[in-house]
Structure 1
Amino acid sequence: MAEPAASFDAVVLAGGRARRFGGADKPAMPVGGRPLISCVVEAVSGAEQVVVVGPQRPGLENVIVVREDPPGAGPVPALRTGLARVRAPRLVLLAADLPFITAADVDRLLRAVSGTGAVMVDDDGREQWLTGAWRTDRLAAALDGYDGASLRGLLAPLAPVTLASAAGERQPWYDCDTPEELARAERLAGP
């Protein structure tokens, strides 16, 4: 078995407003009989610590739960809040609505981190900013000088390595932003 890429912490953003879900608790939505957030937390189970930015949820063990101020303020304030708890030299940054992300995907991201970070790209080559791994010091420095609200605006200038996935429907970057995407994930998850 390969050595882990390096010790790392994980920050999982789980406090969005889920407007396209009518304000429902999207990370708690099930795919394959498991809440989305449980799939994500399992994928980062090798982390020294897992920081979930969002409300307290039942069933999450051995994680640190913090809230951005104000709650639901967006991904950049949530990242700031989560990053304040990170101690490891690298961190994995994930959304809480990724039903198909695995520990192997996380390891692949960590191994690809070179100068600043690594992110997955979708089938069209677009960066999926909430499936990435970063050098903590570089991300902290970028956040320190950033007053914008766009995660892309923060992360794109860091010029991360991009990783494409193998062909298939159950992509690690596949997120469930709408009820239709959640239903498709449920179909792909199978019985």
Structure 2
Amino acid sequence: MTAYEPTGAPDAATAGHDVAYDAVVLAGGGARRLGGADKPGVRVGGRPLLDRVLAACADARTTVVVAEPRTTARPVTWAREDPPGGGPLAALDAGLRHTTAEQVVVLSADLPFLDERTVRRLLSALRAADADGALLTDADGRDQPLVAAYRATALHRELAALTRENDGLTGLPLRRLTGALALTRVPDPVASFDCDTWDDIATARARIREHGHVLDEWISAVKDELGLDLDVDTKLLLDLARDAAHGVARPAAPLTTFLVGYAAAQAKGGQGGPEAVAEASRKAAALALRWAEEAAAQRRAVTLSGPPGAPTTTSGVCNAARLKPVTSSA
């Protein structure tokens, strides 16, 4: 696997993506190479693998997870192949029965680096091509049919044909489906990385803690944990924390950002969004700047007034050393 790197700024193919789509997530495999562990529930960056995948397709009109129901970070529709454990084609068929969109994103539940932009790239590639599907290829150029966007009519057509030819779909491999489809390919060695072994899990956990990505990962994990659906300018908040720490005192940084969040939550009757966070941050940053300017002025005044105890030579400036504490007369 190559290093985990962002895919960059949105391009023309993804910036205007507004196509309605459904998502089917296959999460019911046996995870034999993980010793039968509950792979969708294994945590990477503090979040279950399944929740990470669900975040990547959060704007799907309907999201169907084919597996036994469990608690997830966002609501989904649950489905199960009959019999359970019937393989990926049977699971896909069961999930598709709950979808209605013409474009369907099909994902496995073990993709730690999948994100919304990759899903949009797949949908844009499908829309631009005269093909039945668009799928990712991995670092070795191999097709990844469970990181793909398909035309629903093509999936239904080929699944129905396979059902007739084989008296069902149980046990059939995915290549029986993809071999009959016209596919376009999108190389992406990062988003296509899946976790089949404990070594893969260890690699994923290490990659997301790399310096260039740890803050984004942490913010995403916190939002999932707190049930927040709010995109904010993290640079703005980091700048505010820096200004509060430098202009006031180091402990002011976390306290100030907390108060900004609280103020934003109270804005507009509890309906504050990213704009409310930005406005509260602006006000708090301006206040921190005033504190810093005041402290700088005081330092200049002390410098001009000379050593402690010396007479003040600057009109209107009071030597801080001469101020007396106010005491109660009671």
Question: Normalised by the shorter chain, which TM-score bucket?
Answer: over 0.9
Aligned mates of 2:152, 2:60 — CA distance in 1: 14
Aligned residues: 187
Amino acid at match of 1:3: G
Aligned mates of 1:140, 1:70 — CA distance in 2: 20
Q: Give the corresponding residue for 1:152.
A: 175
Contact 1:39 1:98 in 2 (8 A): yes
Aligned mates of 2:199, 2:138 — CA distance in 1: 18
Amino acid at match of 1:178: T
TM-score computed with the length of structure 2 as normaliser = 0.55
* Structure 1, unaligned runs of 5 or more: none
Aligned mates of 1:188, 1:153 — CA distance in 2: 34
Q: How does 1:174-185 map to 2 (within 5 A)?
A: 174-185=193-204
Q: Give the corresponding residue for 1:35.
A: 48
Identity %: 43
Shift of 1:5: 4.6
Aligned mates of 2:57, 2:202 — CA distance in 1: 24
Pairing partner for 2:138 from 122, 129, 133 = 122
* Structure 2, unaligned runs of 5 or more: 1-9, 215-330
Aligned mates of 1:82, 1:60 — CA distance in 2: 19
Q: Give the corresponding residue for 2:159.
A: 143
Shift of 1:179: 1.0
Q: Give the corresponding residue for 1:131.
A: 147
Aligned mates of 1:189, 1:156 — CA distance in 2: 34
Shift of 1:189: 1.3
Amino acid at match of 2:199: E
| 1:123–1:5 Cα change, 3 Å | farther
Shift of 1:157: 2.3
Q: Which moved more, 1:84-93 or 1:149-158?
A: 149-158
Contact 1:119 1:128 in 2 (8 A): yes
Pairing partner for 2:71 from 49, 52, 58 = 58
Provide, for residues 107-166 of structure 1, a one-character-per-residue CA deviation record: whole Å limited to 9, x for no partner: 00000113211000011111011100000001110111013601022113212100012x
Provide, for residues 52-105 of structure 1, a one-character-per-residue CA deviation record: whole Å limited to 9, x for no partner: 000111134220011111112210100010011110010000000000000000
Aligned mates of 2:137, 2:65 — CA distance in 1: 23
Contact 1:122 1:173 in 2 (8 A): yes
Aligned mates of 1:158, 1:83 — CA distance in 2: 17
Amino acid at match of 1:187: A
Q: Which moved more, 1:140-149 or 1:43-52?
A: 140-149
Amino acid at match of 1:90: Q
SS at match of 2:30: coil
Aligned mates of 2:93, 2:113 — CA distance in 1: 26
Q: Where is the strand percentage greater, Structure 1 or Structure 2?
A: 1
Aligned mates of 1:72, 1:35 — CA distance in 2: 21
Q: How large is the RMSD of aligned CA atoms in angstroms?
A: 1.4
Q: Which moved more, 1:53-62 or 1:134-143?
A: 53-62
Aligned mates of 1:64, 1:58 — CA distance in 2: 12
Q: Find out whether 1:6 has 2:19 as its counterpart.
A: yes
Pairing partner for 1:188 from 203, 207, 224 = 207
Q: Where is the helix percentage greater, Structure 1 or Structure 2?
A: 2
Aligned mates of 2:75, 2:151 — CA distance in 1: 23
Q: How does 1:157-168 map to 2 (within 5 A)?
A: 157-165=180-188
